[in-house]
Amino acid sequence: LDLSAEVAKRFIDILVKQQRLKLNQLALQQAKDVVAAISKRAQAGKSSGVEIQLAKAELIRRELAVEDVEHELNASQYQLASLWGAPGTQYQLNGNLLNIPAVPPVEEQLARLKQNPRLQQFGSAQRIAQSQMELARIDAKPQWQFTAGVRRYEASDDFGVVAGVSIPWGGSNRNAGTLAALQARQDVLASEQTALMQTLDAQLYVLLQEMAHSQHVINTVQTAIVPTLEQALTEASNAFEQGQLSYNQYSGVRRELLSAQSQLLEAFESLHLQHIEIQRLTGTSISQ
């Protein structure tokens, strides 16, 4: 289950990097367009040399950003192939970050928590300890011994059948130490299981709350912030072309939109990773 969770996380990581690469490539193209536009304005005497140099510096930064993500993406793909036992294999992943899982009901997930493999291991250990205690109790019970034989009586020269019963006294204390040790082991296992359950319960509740928050962030950024900034960029582009907006102001709007798009991507990533961790904690199947 842990391996499946790790593979799923690597899968999401690659999908995120692919989308981040697209964002950076878009930003790079925009930077190229800005350099071209400022160069034309400079030839017409509408832009200063300072603006041209700033735009060129921004273009170089965007080129580096694209290269950084490309290297990170290649490394992540190699790591995933290694988990599959085929390092260096070329493959194409099919996935869509926009297909987000619904936030599962809290009570339902808390009930599933008992399926956690670590909790089940405690249950198995407790059953083994209980069985050992029962065997020790059986072994500790006094065992009566029956004897029988033939006896010759010298006086009458007769033979007779004799029988006897041997009852051990004080045998009830046999294995007392073993029973005490096994009971102590049983108590320790029960205590550790309770502590683990409380820890997992808290982790699961927090994850469910975080998942709900990630979904709220996605809805807000996707439906309100990004459309607003896209409209602002359209207006800023027109104003910049007409010389009504400085390069710094225009760049500020582009950066705001890129930042919002990156925030949206991070929220998608968080939601998927939180869902994977919830599945791992509850011992349910991990979807990829």
The Cα–Cα gap between 226 and 68 comes to 25
| C-beta of residue 203 within 8 angstroms of C-beta of residue 116 | no
| C-beta of residue 179 within 8 angstroms of C-beta of residue 133 | yes
User: pLDDT, tens digit, for every residue of 231-242?
Assistant: 999 999 999 888
The alpha helices in the chain, defined as continuous H runs, are: 2-43, 49-83, 106-112, 117-140, 176-220, 226-241, 247-282
User: pLDDT, tens digit, for every residue of 171-226?
Assistant: 555 566 676 776 777 777 677 777 777 888 888 889 999 999 999 999 999 999 99
What is the structure's pLDDT at 288?
A: 46
Higher pLDDT among residues 152 and 244, named by residue: 244
User: pLDDT, tens digit, for every residue of 3-55?
Assistant: 788 888 999 999 999 999 999 999 999 999 989 988 887 777 777 788 889 99
Query: Quick one: tokens of 260?
Result: 């919002």
The Cα–Cα gap between 242 and 229 comes to 20
User: pLDDT, tens digit, for every residue of 152-177?
Assistant: 545 555 555 555 555 555 555 556 66
